[in-house]
Structure 1
């Protein structure tokens, strides 16, 4: 059967329910029916029915006073199952803990999402600062070290699609020129790491290196993130430790043991 003739088994109601769940973020963790209807382009009655169904299964909860909805405990249970069964999280956890201990900064594991970098594991340092890098957070790729590493090894197809989607400016240091970004990614492939100084958030620096799976493919990135003042003082040491951590996790995933 051709791709054009393949039947569409997508259920609109299920898709809308999933879109509804995905509309909650850390910035907007609670929403009213009217807000959800407007953001999803659905009628209030449709949204109310979806919320009633999701609430009955524990996927959303309603605050009786504010009348706002937020994600329920069923979402947390699914998240726990996903994170606990990810091989990369099991293998990277001791390495991340050691990396944070040796650098004194917060460390992460990230993967690429739909034109974004997604953090799937994190070990926080004893002196944490406000960072937009919690587990599940999606950040832009072109101005974060993990994102640039994943772009650098993701192939020309991913890069060109990403560039066409637009290079949003977040700070004065954000790279918004496509040719300049291509040169940055070329340097990452040559050096095997990236350093980002205040490209996404002013005063925050991150260092990242690629993690390879047993096939040699770069599917993940490991990074250390912290205040620029602290990071710059020991940048060379941090670069060395991040690259060392990337090699260690790659080995755990079977990269160096390939026949």
Structure 2
């Protein structure tokens, strides 16, 4: 019985340690023991003990001045291993490089994680704009071009689940009306690409297209992003063609052949 209790306690500790790690985000890059205790519903002593263990292994670091914790380099190391092992990352890299040369803008590769998109690869242009697109960053799917592509071609129930979570406004043109979002996603499916203008970050525009695996399933999205001043309205049709072509090339490298799509 004692052995079983120890196993249960160990599993609980692992679960809570993982919950702590997942609490860190771009919006909350540092966390205090008291904040984690409240948000996770754990005793401060438990949080403090788990953070100390994670710090010993390099998964978090404690700021000596503020007492707050941030993610450590061990997380980055594991993240790099995951990224390098992703087939889509390997196959899309040369396509993204060409897309950057063709458009003059920064390109990203994104996948869906729950209701968010995660950037797993990035090819910088010669004159990048400062936007929130670093690798590993999560962004709400409904207000990015990549995210809209991913949920547009996903099972329909995800759209309603996202709407039920609430469509928060992040910038001047964030889509917060459920019906408008549904119509936008229908349009994306018809034309094969998505555009986001000042929906997540003010003054920026992105164009995204889907990448399919050998079964025809959309598994990722490729995009280019830049300031509205460079990505003007009249340029979007041409940029969209280049992005869609890049998406098709990456899909082919993943084994997709549209001739066999049912």
TM-score, length-normalised on structure 2? 0.89
**Distance in 2 between the 1:12 and 1:85 partners?**
29
1:98-152 deviations in Å (ceiling 9; x for gaps): 1112211111111111111111111111111111111111111222111111111
**Distance in 2 between the 1:25 and 1:183 partners?**
30
1:207 — aligned with what? 207
1:240 — aligned with what? 241
Aligned: 1:151 with 2:151:
yes
Q: Which runs of 4+ in 1 moved over 6 A?
A: none
Do the aligned partners of residues 176 and 29 (structure 1) sit closer, same or farther apart at CA in structure 2, a change above 3 Å counting? closer
Do the aligned partners of residues 143 and 30 (structure 1) sit closer, same or farther apart at CA in structure 2, a change above 3 Å counting? closer
**Distance in 1 between the 2:25 and 2:229 partners?**
30
Deviates more, 1:87-96 or 1:170-179: 170-179
Q: Give, in angstroms, the shift of residue 27 of structure 1.
A: 3.7
Figure out how many residues of one structure are paired with residues of the other and give that number.
252
- Structure richer in helix, relative to its length: 2
2:38 — aligned with what? 38
Q: Give, in angstroms, the shift of residue 240 of structure 1.
A: 1.4
Aligned: 1:23 with 2:32:
no
Unaligned runs of 5+ residues in structure 1 are 1-7
**Distance in 1 between the 2:203 and 2:38 partners?**
35
TM-score, length-normalised on structure 1? 0.90
Deviates more, 1:28-37 or 1:40-49: 28-37
SS state at 1:175 partner: coil
Structure 1 contact 207–224 (Cα < 8 Å) conserved: yes
Q: Give, in angstroms, the shift of residue 29 of structure 1.
A: 2.7
1:186-219 deviations in Å (ceiling 9; x for gaps): 1111100111111222211010011111000111
- TM-align CA RMSD: 2.1
Structure 1 contact 60–70 (Cα < 8 Å) conserved: yes
Unaligned runs of 5+ residues in structure 2 are 1-7
